[in-house]
Structure 1
Amino acid sequence: LSEVIDRATTKGPQTVTRNGRTAVIVVGADEWERKTRRTGNLAEFLANSPLRRSHLRIERRKDRPSKADL
């Protein structure tokens, strides 16, 4: 496991297989932080959307939603 961790931190993600199929992928902590870091909030995302100025209109449905047994 130490060797896999060393390779993940120096050479990039390491695939670990079980019975010939991918079981897990080990990534270094720095890469994980970089890939999962938030770069903004929902309001910023929507404000920067290329669809913002497309004049797309989405009509609200007037029929009632179907019932679902939860």
Structure 2
Amino acid sequence: MWTLQDAKNQFSAVVDAALSGQPQEVTRRGKPAVVVLSSQDYHRLVADARDQRPSFADHLLSFPTEDVPRGQAMPRDVTF
């Protein structure tokens, strides 16, 4: 894990480690901020996430089919 200042000072080492297949975590003010990883790993993660996500049509079809009870609100009287 790198602090932000160390990662800036040794950015080439951060990139080299990420390219060798070791994602590099960077903290800011002691809290996890970002992960530097190779472009190949990033695109693989995005493709995997896209493949696991259902289509929009599948999402709509997964809604409950039984009748959903609705509230019985009455309109209020309005005078003009």
TM-score normalised by L of structure 1: 0.57
Q: Is 1:17 paired with 2:15?
A: no
Q: Work out the percentage of aligned pairs sharing the same amino acid.
A: 31
Q: Structure 1 stretches of 5 or more lacking a match?
A: 47-56, 65-70
CA contact (8 A) 2:21 2:37 kept: no
CA contact (8 A) 2:25 2:32 kept: yes
**1:58 CA displacement:** 4.2
Q: Structure 2 stretches of 5 or more lacking a match?
A: 1-10, 59-63, 72-80
Aligned to 1:52: none
**1:39 CA displacement:** 2.5
- When residues 18 and 60 of structure 1 are mapped into structure 2, their CA distance, relative to the original with a 3 A threshold, is same
Aligned with residue 7 of structure 1, among 12, 17, 28: 17
Q: Which secondary structure state, in structure 2, belongs to the residue aligned with residue 12 of structure 1?
A: coil
Indicate the structure with greater helix content: 2
Separation of aligned partners in 1, 2:22 and 2:65: 43
**1:42 CA displacement:** 1.4
Aligned to 2:51: 39
**1:59 CA displacement:** 1.8
Tell me the matched-pair count. Answer: 54
Query: What is the RMSD of the two structures over their aligned residues, measured on CA atoms?
Result: 2.8
Q: Is 1:60 paired with 2:73?
A: no
Q: 1:32 is aligned with what amino acid?
A: Y
